[in-house]
Structure 1
Amino acid sequence: MGTLHVSQLLADNGWKQSVFQVRRGDQVIECSVTPLKPAGEIFEDQDPKVGILWDWQANIETAMVHPTPYFQIMDSLKTMWVTISKVTSPSSHVGVDQLAGPVGIARTKYLLLKTEDGWLRVMWFFVLFNVNLAVLNMLPLPVLDGGHIVMAIIEWIRGRPVNPRVLEVVQTGFALLLIGFMLFITTKDLGDTIPAGGKDAKVVWPEVSQ
């Protein structure tokens, strides 16, 4: 059961107290969940929420690994394939609005640098980022290198160049689509980066009697 499914069940129950059964091995545990709505004007139109408190005091052992360049590239390609599959799948909850552009990428690097061994995480991110760029640039779409290769092959097969007017219309159209998509992603990233109500907006949870 995913988080969206849980949210839907809580919504269907009118955001009232709900009881879930959790199976751990042969044991079934009942958990009571009561959604709460944060106080404040910026949350008036939002649904109640369910918070989770992580155990940051847990002992977590970490180890440094040194994957080979081949492994890193193949792992990045696998990550790309999973992402594209999720975005294009009708049954997936992952959409284009969850992708990140330049602003989101810069924010991710900043957050990675703030973590322990952040520069190592940023280097890993650069591997993923560069493999993404290489693969995307080779897609057979106009204005990309892959599109230029396809055009060159077409001209080689036909024995003459493509009509300049047709080429201009196709490349301009795809360029406008690409620019529009980047503007959409950048606008979304700015909305995710700048909190609603200003930087001083805080989430205040109402007190609940035990």
Structure 2
Amino acid sequence: EETQSYLVGFTPTIKNGIFAEKVEGYDTASVLETVHYSYYAMLNYVKLTAEGLARVFTMQASPDEYGGPISIVKVVGDSYEAGLSYSFMAAVKNVVYIAAVLSANLGVLNLFPIPGLDGGRILLLLIEILRRKPMNPETESRILFGGFVFLMGFMVFVMYTDIMKIF
């Protein structure tokens, strides 16, 4: 109506974040809107993490797509340095953002049904519920030991790929 013409398409409503610097012409998102957006963003990260881990375990991911502690330190350092090119506060926000994503990643990884992780324990409890009797402690110990060996091997594999990325 303002331009006296027809427009094709859409115009998104853009809002500043709560902690962002104010920009003229844009409203600031409310706390509720921020929580809503953050919830769906974290769900997306959890979904991407689960898909990525499945790709790693099925050997469909390239070594550049995953990393261990060495890669994590490098990514945190790089994002901190990138943030410092704007301001100290931007660097802190980058590090906090990465900490939140890492927390979601570790939560998803911990729920994978691998013996030795919480997801493996949940799986064993579900098996006991379905069988309607407790699992033999010796069998459970062997399963947990196998999961531990798998996790240690996986850790060595990830550390090896991290070290190979350096060289």
TM exceeding 0.5? yes
Distance (whole Å) between structure 2 residues aligned to residue 101 and residue 165 of structure 1: 32
Q: Note if contact 1:76-1:127 (Cα within 8 Å) is conserved in structure 2.
A: no
Match of 1:187 in 2: 160
TM-score by length of 2: 0.65
Match of 1:102 among 69, 73, 78: 69
Deviation of 1:102 (Å):
1.2
Where does structure 1 lack aligned partners over 5 or more consecutive residues?
1-62, 196-210
Match of 2:140 among 145, 149, 167: 167
Q: Note if contact 1:138-1:146 (Cα within 8 Å) is conserved in structure 2.
A: yes
Q: Note if contact 2:111-2:118 (Cα within 8 Å) is conserved in structure 1.
A: yes
Deviation of 1:104 (Å):
1.0
Number of equivalences: 130
Distance (whole Å) between structure 2 residues aligned to residue 146 and residue 171 of structure 1: 12
1:70 and 2:43 aligned: no
After superposition, give the CA deviation of every residue in 1:143-193 in whole Å (9 maximum; x if it has no partner).
Answer: 111111222222233332111221111111121111111111112212323
Distance (whole Å) between structure 2 residues aligned to residue 136 and residue 104 of structure 1: 17
Where is the helix percentage greater, Structure 1 or Structure 2?
2
TM-score by length of 1: 0.53
Higher relative contact order (CA 8 A, sep 6+): 1
Distance (whole Å) between structure 2 residues aligned to residue 159 and residue 86 of structure 1: 34
Q: Note if contact 2:63-2:161 (Cα within 8 Å) is conserved in structure 1.
A: no
Distance (whole Å) between structure 2 residues aligned to residue 129 and residue 106 of structure 1: 12
Distance (whole Å) between structure 2 residues aligned to residue 102 and residue 125 of structure 1: 13
Report the secondary structure of 1:191's partner residue: helix
Where is the strand percentage greater, Structure 1 or Structure 2?
1
Match of 1:79 in 2: 48
Q: What percent identity do the matched residue pairs reach? A: 25
Q: Note if contact 1:101-1:185 (Cα within 8 Å) is conserved in structure 2.
A: yes
Distance (whole Å) between structure 2 residues aligned to residue 166 and residue 96 of structure 1: 35
